[in-house]
Amino acid sequence: MSDDPKISNPQPDAEPTATRSTVPMWIFSLTLVLIYLGAVYFDHHGGWFDAKVYGPYASADQLDSYQPKSGAAAAIARGKKLYEMNCGICHGVDGLGKPNIAPPLAGSEWVKAKGVQRLTHIPLTGVSGSIMVENQPWNLSMAAMGAALPDADLAAVLTYIRASWGNGMGEVTADDVKAVRAAIGAHPQPMIGDQMMKMPE
């Protein structure tokens, strides 16, 4: 009925078949060898699925060991932030203290002492009673403002205080804070002023 050009000789074409030759062993061995090598590679470079390990770091331990623990500068910057949040309200952002509220920290002999034990006690236990700061008597009480801070953070704050406003003293480490905390024990009482004056630095 229609007059389209048909294919001149429409032969049925056979559907393809597949031979049943076997797969040689060497390709399986190659696969296994590559799987083994891949596992070794993943062990070295995969960080063992840790969410914090990014290349070029190879493992969580390596990343931890590479964290900058370098000395005072890092702690000071962090300490500055924490100081301003926790201590600056009473002691002043400039460290000059506020009359009838808190004694100054700039130039204070408590801060500039050679040892850090006594200074570290103060935020961990609090103070009450009368003390002398820069030849001025202060008879106030301070809560244990640093007791809730982790060791490293409190160490940073104290390092900042000791380094700033012309104090120019060395750092307080997290280990120092830990030692003092351990010595104080579980239920610290605020130190009385006289007690504090007699304490070793």
Partner 1 sequence: MKNGFSVFIAAFIALGASWCGFVLAPLLQLGTAKQTAVLVSGDTYPIQRTGDATLGLQVYRANDCAACHTEQIQQSGVAFDVVLTGLGKNPMAVRSAIQETCELIYKDNPKDKNLYDMLVEHLSPEQPFSPATILNSVTKTIADSASDKITAAGGKVETHLIPTGADISRGWGVRRSVAADFLYDSPVQLGSQRIGPDLADVGARLGNANWQLLHLYAPQSVVKNSAMPPFRFLFEIKKIDDAPSPEALNLPKEFAPPAGCEVVPKPEAKQLVAYLLSLRADAPLYEAPFTPAQVSTNAPAK
Partner 2 sequence: MNEISQQKIDASCRVPLLALFGGATLWLVVGLALSVVASLTFHKPDMFACCPFLTYGHAQPAANDAILYGFCIPAALGVMLWIFARLSETELVLPLVPIVAANIWHLGVFIGIVAILIGDSTGFVWLEFPRGSSVLLFAAFLLIAISAVATFGQRKERELYPSHWFLLAALLWFPWIYSTANLLLASGHPVRGVTQAVIGWWFADNLIFVWLALVGLGTAFYLLPKLAGRPLHSRFYALFAFWTLMIFGTWCGIPQGAPVPAWLPALTSVASSLLIVPLIAIAIIFCKTVCGANVTCKGGPFCYIKFGTVAFLLSGLMLISSACPHFSRIAEFTWFEQAQTQLQILGFFAIVICGAIYELLPRVMGFGLPFPKFVRWQHWLFMLGIILLVVSLAVGGIKQGLAALVPKNSSNDILEASLPFLRASTLGLLFLLLGSLLFAANIFVMTFKWKLALIKSVIAYIKSPLETAEVKP
Residues that bind partner 2 (CB under 8 A): 1-2, 4-7, 10-23, 27, 30-31, 34-35, 37-39, 41-42, 45-55, 57-58
- Ranges within 123-162 binding partner 1 (CB under 8 A): 153, 160
36 binds, among partner 1, partner 2, none (CB under 5 to 8 A by kind): none
Q: Residue 166, interface with partner 1 (CB under 8 A)?
A: yes
Rule CB under 8 A: say whether 44 interacts with partner 1.
no
Q: How many Å apart are CA 150 and CA 9, to the nearest integer?
A: 90
- Determine the 3-state secondary structure of 23 from DSSP: coil
Contacts with partner 1 by CB under 8 A: the residue count is: 31
Residue 183 within binding range of partner 1, rule CB under 8 A: no
Contacts of 152 (CB under 8 A, 6+ apart): 174, 177
Least separation in angstroms between CB 70 and partner 2: 25
> Counting Cβ atoms within 10 Å, is residue 51 exposed (0-12), middle (13-18) or buried (19+)?
exposed
When binding is defined by CB under 8 A, the residue of 68, 99, 185, 200 that contacts partner 1 is 68
- Take residue 96 and report the two structure tokens written for it: 């000059």
When binding is defined by CB under 8 A, the residue of 51, 185, 187, 200 that contacts partner 1 is: 51
The one-character DSSP state at 138 is: E
Are 100 and 90 contacting, i.e. CB atoms less than 8 angstroms apart? no
Residues contacting 101, CB < 8 A, separation 6+: 90, 140
- Phi/psi at 57 (5° precision): -75, 140
Residues in touch with partner 1 (CB under 8 A): 49, 51-56, 63, 65-68, 70-74, 76-78, 80-82, 153, 160, 163-168
